[in-house]
Amino acid sequence: MDVVPIRELLRDLDLRPSKALGQHFLHDQKIVHRIAELAGLGHGDLVVEIGPGLGVLTRALAARAGRVIAIELDARLAEYLRRQFAGTNVEIVHGDALAVDYAELTGGQPYQVVANLPYSVATAIIERLLTGEHPPARLVVMVQREVAERLAARPPDMALLSVAAQFYATPRIAFRIGTGAFVPPPKVESAVIVLERRAETPLPREEHAPFFQMVRAGFAQRRKQLANALAAGLGLPKQTVEAALVAAGIDPGRRAETLSLEEWLNVYQALRKQVHHAD
């Protein structure tokens, strides 16, 4: 059967999708299996699923992976899933994906995240996973289409989220999904994005905070030219910033969304040298 009877399941369980939790249940089995296949799972792999809902994707993951840990915030659904997956290779954790210690959850083992993320917290979850102490090797996640496009954006359509995602991972949009694949249908289209974590980040960990402080300053006043935005955001003389931009090969009149990750890294290094020289 290509369609899971989600409405009947919800009725039998006397459950209504929670607007507060952003619950939209995927019922198209073809899409479910397509997502599971994208992860390229083997029987030795550990998978973390966030927001398993009624367990439709969970079942497909369990058939492919060695072990699945599914984190569900809704206590009613967590209890239902525990009954459904009792005695299997699936562990149900009733908890908040934004508060879970992933190193502790996985026992420090390598893992992937495969999930239909709740749209209201999808960006926050992705950021936490990518920047945490024990990040996944790969994320295969369904998100709002606009979020997926920002994650995988290229100049001149970059955003702070684009720079952050590409600093830690290599994102690519796998496919897009219409609203009819869900119960209830969301008001926005969706997309599945794959984020392959980089073996090494472009800068050592102690430089992550100052690098993103600079990038945030650039995007804080998007209508301003980059030299003005950085000078205002970082509290530096405009001539210092302009000199750094020229040294990095960047026109000071450009705007933040036109810079690639590589260009931001060049600006960071040039700005450090310029500030050090000024001191």
Where exactly are the structural domains of the chain? 6-197, 205-278
Q: Please check if 72 is assigned to a binding site.
A: yes
Q: Could you read off the pLDDT of 180-216 as tens digits, one per residue?
A: 888 777 788 999 999 999 999 999 999 999 999 999 9
CATH tag for 205-278 (out of 3.40.228.10, 1.10.8.100, 3.40.50.150, 3.30.390.50) = 1.10.8.100
24 is in an annotated binding site: yes
Asked whether residue 230 is marked as a ligand-binding residue, the answer is no
43 assigned binding-site residue: no
- Helices 238-247 + 261-278 axis angle, to 10: 130
CA distance 132 to 19: 28
Q: Fold for domain 6-197?
A: Rossmann fold (3.40.50)
Domains 6-197 and 205-278 share a fold: no
Whether 51 has a binding-site annotation, put simply, is yes
Instruction: Please indicate if the annotation marks 149 as binding a ligand.
Output: no
User: Which pTM value belongs to this model?
Assistant: 0.90
Top-confidence residue, 69 or 274:
69
Checking DSSP bridges between strand 138-144 and strand 190-197, what pairing results, if any? Answer: antiparallel
| Interval 71-106: pLDDT, tens | 999 898 999 999 999 999 999 999 999 999 999 999
